[in-house]
Amino acid sequence: MTPDMTGVHLWHRLHWAKDNLEPVQSDYRVVFEAELDGAASVLIPDPNWMACALAGGILPPVEMYHNEPRNAQGEFIGPSDYWESFEGIPAMTEEEAIEYLIQKDIPQHVWKDDRANRPRFVICKTNQLPATREYRNAWKIAA
């Protein structure tokens, strides 16, 4: 059971979760292409983060990552309580957690642009990826 963490900084919430929640290894992977001519990347959820998502009450709404106040150089300039001033979102399913992670960690132009004429990311299971990392720099998503 997650305690009430109202007013607790995100870093402290994540630290509490690492010490108190059992890590959950997801079988999902997200393969994405951030650059047209670049190799595909693979997003693997951290087991401690996945435990937070499944427990609920720890993570902020995903919009907070996109609305951080920043200066022209991209540096965070917001108030010191920005990451304390949120109510943790409810527990998610593993699939919902993967969707959240896509919006949090993959560049927006990959998942938000619906004008693309081919898929830019794929959610798959671990066993659908090659067992070795040989040729990984040449991976592409099949259209």
Per-residue confidence band for 80, with pLDDT thresholds at 50, 70 and 90: low
pLDDT digits (tens, 9 = 90+) for 25-34: 999 999 999 8
Is residue 101 predicted with pLDDT exceeding 90? yes
Is residue 45 predicted with pLDDT exceeding 90? yes
Q: Which of 104, 115, 103, 107 is nearest to 34 (CA)?
A: 107
> How is residue 85 annotated by DSSP?
S
Query: What pTM was estimated for this model as a whole?
Result: 0.86
Select the more confidently predicted residue: 25 or 130. 25
Is residue 78 predicted with pLDDT exceeding 70? no
Judge whether 50 and 97 are in contact, CB under 8 Å: yes
Q: Which of 101, 21, 103 is nearest to 57 (CA)?
A: 21
Angle at 140 between CA 134 and CA 143, to 5 degrees: 145
Spans of all domains in the chain: 10-138
Please give the Cα distance from 58 to 18 (Å, whole number): 11
